[in-house]
Amino acid sequence: MTQRLHLVFGGELIDPTKNAFKDVDAIDIVGMYPNYEAAYNAWKGAAQRTVDNAHMRYFIAHIHRLRDEETAASPTEELES
């Protein structure tokens, strides 16, 4: 069975029309989830808690897409110096 990990994170954006965080050190890592449904539920809860702040955004990152185990050298492999 393929594992499909999802990371939920968010924080305050510099500009609500862009995806640049105001303070990277203050990013809220909600958690890592084993499927999209669990990640979505966590994302929704975090987003609803911060609905009064238009600059706050939460995201779901599809971690399983960052590394393709079937490919000999995926884009996330370490770069040669």
Reported as a single tens digit per residue, the pLDDT across 13-56 is: 999 999 999 999 999 999 999 999 999 999 999 999 999 999 99
Give yes or no for residue 67 having a pLDDT over 70.
no
Residue 15 lies in a domain: yes
Q: Identify the CA nearest to 61 among candidates 7, 25, 2.
A: 7
Q: Identify the CA nearest to 57 among candidates 39, 76, 67, 44.
A: 44
pLDDT at 3 (0 to 100): 77
Give yes or no for residue 78 having a pLDDT over 80.
no
Residue 52 lies in a domain: yes
How many Cβ atoms sit within 10 Å of the Cβ of residue 33?
20
Give the C-alpha distances (Å, rounded to integers) separating 12 from 5, 27, 29, 42, 49: 24, 8, 12, 17, 13
Give yes or no for residue 79 having a pLDDT over 80.
no
Residue 48 lies in a domain: yes
d(CA 58, CA 26): 13
Range of the domain at 29: 6-65
Of residues 70 and 56, more confidently modeled: 56
pLDDT at 64 (0 to 100): 78
How many domains, in total, are found in the chain? 1
Residue 1 lies in a domain: no
